[in-house]
Amino acid sequence: MRRECDVVVIGGGPGGLAAACSAKKSGAKSVVLLERDSLPGGILNQCIHDGFGLIRYHETFTGPEYAKHAIEEAEEAGVEILTSRHVRSISSDKTVTVYTKNGIEEYKAGSIVLATGCRERTRGNISIPGSRPAGVFTAGVAQNLINCRNVMVGKKVVILGSGDIGLIMARRLTLEGAEVLAVAEVMPEPTGLARNVTQCVYEYNIPLYVKTTVSKIIGKKRLEAVELSDVDDYMRVIPGTARRIECDTLILSVGLIPENEVAETVGVKLLSNNGTETDRFLQTDVEGIFSCGNSRHVMDLADYVSEQGELAGKNAVHYLKKEPFESWDEEKSNCMKKGFPEEGTVTCTVCPNGCQVKWDDKENCYIGNKCPRGAAFAEKERTSPVRTVTTTVKISGRNHELLPVRTSSPISKAYVFEVVNKLKEVEVSLPVHSGDIVQEIDLDNEKVEIISTVSKQ
Ligand SMILES: Cc1cc2nc3c(=O)[nH]c(=O)nc-3n(C[C@H](O)[C@H](O)[C@H](O)COP(=O)(O)OP(=O)(O)OC[C@H]3O[C@@H](n4cnc5c(N)ncnc54)[C@H](O)[C@@H]3O)c2cc1C
Ligand code: SF4
């Protein structure tokens, strides 16, 4: 099968969905989005925690809820979303060759947007010495097993790496009943957002060691222990500092690598970190081929990925119409507070800036907040902190699938474990729609509604 279309977008994560939607809205007649998975949404589908969409939608969504909005927007704009399509290559005349279960398809495009995301660095990429037992996972694989496939990865866990995925998995594993013995970070500061250090690690009393690495993996069939060692300023292991930690699972959260095999088939120039090299209009060195999201440069927030995708989609249409391009502001996605929260402060989580807010006795008011919402947040944290609980429940008749759910509104922080534990006993029958109430839980004479965050047949 061979078709012609104005714009082809490769990858159906937030970058690709936004690019396709804006290409259609900018006047492209036919926009086809090709996704290799059976569902669009990209990595968002396994990120069941909340915190997405604060900039784009001014609300906090879970990953699947954010994906649902992006998919609906693209569909309403008239994008043709084609799933189970693995893009194999692009030729110099912009013909995109795709593998499907029914054979090969070809799409001849006027312009193309690459939005193929990234993959995780593995043990092989960082060369940890030791044996090769079972029980060593990358954080994204562990997340997929726990959140989507109903497979618990282990009971006693060490996490190497304090980027956002590592921090989020520390909380998730703890809520699922594992003991997270340590998060080890080779740098002098955590590399994730301060709000994740606070809400995923400090709040669960998980030990966080900086300037520390895993210097040895020990175990025959299954992991039995790891050695943690201090590192010097050049990240070299300091001899004599090794201490053994008995554990059955090691989670690696040691960085992401842009995924660009498809880009390479048409000769797009890549940077040393494997990201695509683009100009400020997001165009690669191959005219008419644009790149956005994590395959261009790994980004912290889906909101910025969507915004960048939107611009790539617009410029793909400007290219077709021979109109001037619009520029991407590289600085805009770098405003969030990363690393350790400042001592004695509250990290405001109302927006991703993560202001460090504290009470000032002299001024008799909160300081450090860039807007009044930070003071209100800090006061609520002091008097009656609340959290939205996000977790999964079982689905009747399906052993290897789970339904992601959340409380319909935030509940007292003190009840988070109780709600998660009660939900471990719950089984839901399909079909359900995103937003359906699937369970009610009694907490101190108060009913808490549990809603599904996806639609499932
Ligand atoms: C664990 C974790 C937690 C996160 N937490 C947050 C958070 O709380 N808030 C937030 O805002 N952001 C968060 N993020 C970041 C955000 O989710 C990502 O930055 C964003 O999803 C990246 O979007 P993308 O479209 O570039 O890539 P992806 O979402 O990875 O999408 C790429 C898509 O391309 C497809 N693809 C790749 N190659 C091909 C091919 N050859 N053919 C067809 N399709 C292909 C893939 O299947 C995939 O669907 C988190 C990320 C992770 C991993
Ligand atoms: S104080 Fe305002 S700007 Fe700062 S994180 Fe909170 S909401 Fe965002």
Q: Is residue 333 pLDDT above 80, yes or no? A: no
> CB count, 10 Å around CB of 5?
17
| Residue 338 lies inside a defined structural domain of this protein | no
CATH of the domain at 9: 3.50.50.60
CA distance 407 to 55: 21
> CB count, 10 Å around CB of 287?
9
Q: How confident is the model at residue 62 (pLDDT cuts 50, 70, 90)?
A: very high
The single-letter DSSP state of residue 53 is: -
48 and 100 part of one domain: yes
217 and 313 part of one domain: no
The owner of tokens 């949404």 is 41
Query: If you take atom 3 of ligand 2, which residue's CA is the nearest one?
Result: 370
CATH of the domain at 404: 3.10.530.10
* Closest ligand 1 atom to Cα of 66: 11
Residue 204: the pLDDT is 97
Q: Express each pLDDT in 237-258 by its tens digit.
A: 999 999 999 999 999 999 999 9
Q: How confident is the model at residue 143 (pLDDT cuts 50, 70, 90)?
A: very high
240 and 263 part of one domain: no
155 and 241 part of one domain: yes
| Residue 54 lies inside a defined structural domain of this protein | yes
CA distance 193 to 196: 5
Residue 334: the pLDDT is 67
106 and 131 part of one domain: no
Domain count, the chain: 4
- Domain limits at 374? 346-379
Q: Calculate mean pLDDT across residues 380-394.
A: 96
Residue that terminates a domain, selected from 254, 276, 296: 254
Residue 38: the pLDDT is 96
Burial (Cβ within 10 Å: 0-12, 13-18, ≥19) of residue 324: exposed
- Quick one: tokens of 71? 């998919």
112 and 76 part of one domain: yes
For residue 218, the surrounding DSSP H or E stretch is strand 212-219
Percent of the residues in the chain that have a pLDDT greater than 70, as a whole number: 100
247 and 141 part of one domain: yes
State phi, psi for 34 to the nearest 5 degrees: -110, 125
Q: Is there a cis peptide before residue 431, judged by omega within 30 degrees of 0?
A: yes
Q: Calculate mean pLDDT across residues 351-369.
A: 93
Mutate to test the pocket of ligand 1, among 116, 259, 276 (most ligand atoms within 8 A of CB): 116
Q: 189 CA distance to ligand 2 centroid (A)? A: 22
- The angle at the Cα of 282, spanning 280 to 288, to the nearest 5 degrees, equals 125
Q: Express each pLDDT in 36-58 by its tens digit.
A: 999 999 999 999 999 999 999 99
| Residue 337 lies inside a defined structural domain of this protein | no
Q: Calculate mean pLDDT across residues 385-402.
A: 95
The stretches of 235-371 forming alpha helices (DSSP H) are 261-265, 302-321
Q: Is residue 332 pLDDT above 80, yes or no? A: no
249 and 176 part of one domain: yes
For ligand 2, whether the C-beta of 55 sits within 6 Å is no
Q: Express each pLDDT in 167-202 by its tens digit.
A: 999 999 999 999 999 999 999 999 999 999 999 999
DSSP 362-391: TTTEEES-SSHHHHHHHHHHHH--EE--EE
Residue that terminates a domain, selected from 237, 254, 271: 254
For ligand 1, whether the C-beta of 71 sits within 6 Å is no
34 and 106 part of one domain: yes
- Quick one: tokens of 362? 């002299």
CA distance 404 to 406: 7
249 and 127 part of one domain: yes
Residue that terminates a domain, selected from 379, 402, 435: 379
For ligand 1, whether the C-beta of 378 sits within 6 Å is no
153 and 171 part of one domain: yes
Average pLDDT, the chain: 96
Q: 240 CA distance to ligand 1 centroid (A)? A: 40
Do 60 and 50 form a contact (C-beta atoms < 8 A)? yes
For ligand 1, whether the C-beta of 37 sits within 6 Å is yes
CA distance 401 to 95: 37
144 and 184 part of one domain: yes
For residue 16, the surrounding DSSP H or E stretch is helix 14-25
| Residue 341 lies inside a defined structural domain of this protein | no
Q: How confident is the model at residue 19 (pLDDT cuts 50, 70, 90)?
A: very high
Q: Calculate mean pLDDT across residues 346-351.
A: 92
CA distance 66 to 53: 6
The reply to whether the predicted model has a pTM over 0.85 is: yes
| Residue 243 lies inside a defined structural domain of this protein | yes
Residue 352: the pLDDT is 83
| Residue 340 lies inside a defined structural domain of this protein | no
Q: 105 CA distance to ligand 1 centroid (A)? A: 24
Ligand nearest to the CA of 60: 1
| Residue 457 lies inside a defined structural domain of this protein | no
Between β-strands 398-407 and 390-395, what pairing exists: parallel, antiparallel or unpaired?
A: antiparallel
